[in-house]
């Protein structure tokens, strides 16, 4: 039996990953500073350390007996990162320095890193493969690119002494909930924002209707958080086999437009949500869809749930 440390394990995604790791027969320690994570999300059976990844000593202590780290703890709001870049560099890049130092000290052999489709910026083609250029458009995306480089560089440096086997997962647009109590409470993303608008009795907004897409609204690759959690367990298992250095997109490979998401919400709530078109939001690429060939071939993982599952489970999680 192996033990994995989950940084950010009390967050929306982390809580789903923790449950799946436990179900896979692995032991789990969650390290979370609870700034956005919730104590209530920490599952029975997981050990818990309340600390920031910036606290290298605390991380080092938590790594005792640990085979690998799944590193999810990070700031993740694109707009906030533009306004406060140093906050993002301190938390995301500084957090990675601290974590990798503690892992080197403890000779921890495995790492799964939570990256983002934000590393691609505005991609020149779609679907986008892992070898495409990395041209992030925000400090958030930049910190994710730097984090990827740091993991890769550290594995090279440790190769002859304490080898580090690693997988980077580039998440596309994560949505839905594995159970009603595990929903996304941050409301920064399209589906929670649509439900928030409906709760206020307002019309949900479509940011831009003149994009060069099939219906004029932006296209994204929405991935169910339960599918994403399963990808982490597969990545952890691959890392445990040793000698791994891999980057995978995690998406469905299927694009959905904002209008199609509105349609799915209308189906789930049983009435037309009456979405209104407003101006474009600055910095939104027209289309961002994952090529999933590599993760399917090399990790044997593919998404099992569709947009309707995401919208229905997100709705159920709102109570
Ligand atoms: C999201 C994440 C980003 C992540 C990226 C990966 C946020 C804020 N953004 O970006 O961290 O790296 O996925 O692909 O967490 N929209 C509307 N109306 C709304 C809200 C959104 O039309 O009320 C549109 C947006 O213009 C966009 C789409 O819905 O086209 C999705 O938006 P959002 O959920 O914010 O995600 P991304 O911006 O794609």
Q: What is the pLDDT of residues 150-209, one digit of tens each?
A: 999 999 999 999 999 999 999 999 999 999 999 998 878 999 999 999 999 999 999 999
What are the angstrom distances between the C-alpha of 136 and each of 89, 115, 214, 221? 14, 12, 25, 17
Ligand 1, atom 25, lies closest to the CA of 207
Q: Are residues 214 and 235 in the same domain?
A: no
Choosing from 120, 140, 171, 222, which is the catalytic residue?
140
The answer to the question of residue 125 being in a domain is yes
* Residue 201 and residue 162 share a domain: no
Let me know: does 128 contact 294? Beta carbons within 8 Å: no
- Nearest atom of ligand 1 to the alpha carbon of 116: 12
The dihedral through the CA atoms of 218, 120, 78, 101 has a sign that is positive
Q: Is 144 in the same domain as 213?
A: no
Strand partners, 250: 171
Decide if 140 is catalytic: yes
296 within a domain of the structure (yes/no): no
What is the residue-wise DSSP string for 215-246?
A: SSS-EE-EEEHHHHHHHHHHHHHHHHTS--EE
With respect to residue 299, please indicate whether it lies within any of the assigned structural domains. no
Judging by beta carbons within 10 Å of its beta carbon (0-12, 13-18, 19+), is residue 200 exposed, middle or buried?
Answer: exposed
Q: Mark whether 73 and 204 lie in a shared domain.
A: no
Residues 93 and 41 in one domain: yes
Q: How far is 213 from 218, CA to CA, in rounded Å?
A: 7
123 or 230: whose pLDDT is higher?
Answer: 230
Please enumerate in sequence order all residues whose Cβ is within 8 A of that of 141, keeping only pairs 6 or more positions apart, or say none.
78, 116, 118, 119, 121
Residue 306: cis peptide before it, omega within 30 degrees of 0:
no
pLDDT over 90 at 96, yes or no: yes
**Within this chain, do residues 156 and 34 fall inside the same structural domain, yes or no?**
yes
Where in the sequence is the domain holding 312, given as residue range(s)?
A: 175-221+253-289+304-317
Residue 68 in domain: yes
pLDDT grade, residue 304 (50/70/90)?
very high
**CATH number for the domain harbouring residue 191:** 3.90.25.10
- Of 65-74, 75-84, 157-166, 223-232, the range with the lowest mean pLDDT is 75-84
Q: Is the CB of residue 89 less than 8 Å from the CB of residue 138? A: no
Read off the DSSP letter of residue 93: I
pTM of the complete model beyond 0.85: yes
Asked if 60 and 156 sit in the same domain, the reply is yes
Query: Same domain, yes or no, for 127 and 209?
Result: no
C-alpha span between 272 and 20 (Å, rounded):
35
pLDDT of residue 124: 86
CA 246–ligand 1 middle distance (angstroms) = 26
Q: What's the structural domain count of the chain?
A: 2
Which pLDDT value is given to residue 187?
Answer: 74
Q: Residue 156 falls within a domain, yes or no?
A: yes
How many angstroms does the Cα of residue 278 sit away from the middle of ligand 1?
15
Q: Is 295 part of any domain?
A: no
Mean pLDDT of the chain: 97
Q: Are residues 195 and 61 in the same domain?
A: no
- The verdict on 168 and 180 lying in the same domain is no
- Residues near ligand 1 (Cβ within 6 A): 76-78, 116-118, 172-173, 188-190, 193, 205-207, 218, 220, 258, 281, 284, 288
Sign of CA dihedral 228, 229, 234, 236: positive
Model pLDDT for residues 42-54, shown as the tens digit of each residue: 999 999 999 999 9
For residue 109, the domain's CATH number is: 3.40.50.720
Map tokens 């307002």 to a residue. Answer: 202
Q: Is residue 294 part of a domain?
A: no
117 and 35 together in one domain? yes
Is the same domain home to 235 and 179? no
Residue 298 forms part of a structural domain: no
């Amino acid at each position: 039996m192996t033990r994995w440390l989950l940084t950010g394990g009390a967050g929306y995604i982390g809580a789903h990953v923790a449950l799946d790791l436990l179900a896979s027969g692995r032991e789990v320690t969650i390290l979370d500073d609870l700034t956005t994570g919730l104590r209530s999300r920490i599952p029975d059976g997981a050990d818990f350390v309340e600390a920031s990844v910036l606290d290298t000593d605390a991380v080092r202590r938590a790594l005792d007996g640990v085979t690998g780290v799944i590193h999810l703890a990070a700031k993740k709001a694109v707009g906030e990162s533009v306004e406060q870049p140093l906050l993002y560099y301190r938390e995301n890049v500084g957090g990675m320095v601290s974590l990798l130092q503690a892992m080197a000290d403890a000779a921890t052999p495995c790492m799964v890193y939570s990256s983002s489709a934000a590393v691609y910026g505005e991609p020149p083609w779609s679907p986008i493969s892992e070898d495409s250029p990395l041209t992030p458009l925000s400090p958030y995306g930049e910190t994710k690119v730097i984090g990827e480089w740091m993991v890769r560089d550290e594995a090279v440096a440790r190769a002859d002494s304490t080898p580090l086997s690693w997988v980077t997962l580039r998440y596309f647009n994560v949505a839905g909930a594995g159970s009603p109590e595990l929903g996304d409470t941050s409301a920064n993303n399209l589906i929670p924002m649509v439900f928030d608008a409906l709760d206020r009795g307002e019309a949900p907004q479509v940011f831009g209707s003149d994009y060069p897409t099939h219906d004029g609204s932006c296209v994204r690759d929405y991935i169910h958080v339960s599918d994403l959690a399963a990808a982490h367990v597969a990545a952890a298992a691959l890392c445990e086999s040793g000698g791994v250095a891999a980057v995978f997109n995690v998406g469905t490979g299927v694009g959905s437009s904002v209008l199609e998401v509105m349609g799915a919400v209308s189906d789930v709530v049983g009435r037309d949500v009456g979405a209104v078109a407003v101006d474009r939001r600055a910095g939104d690429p027209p289309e961002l869809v994952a090529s999933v060939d590599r993760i399917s071939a090399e990790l044997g993982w593919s998404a099992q749930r569709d947009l309707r599952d995401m919208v229905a489970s997100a709705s159920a999680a709102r109570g």
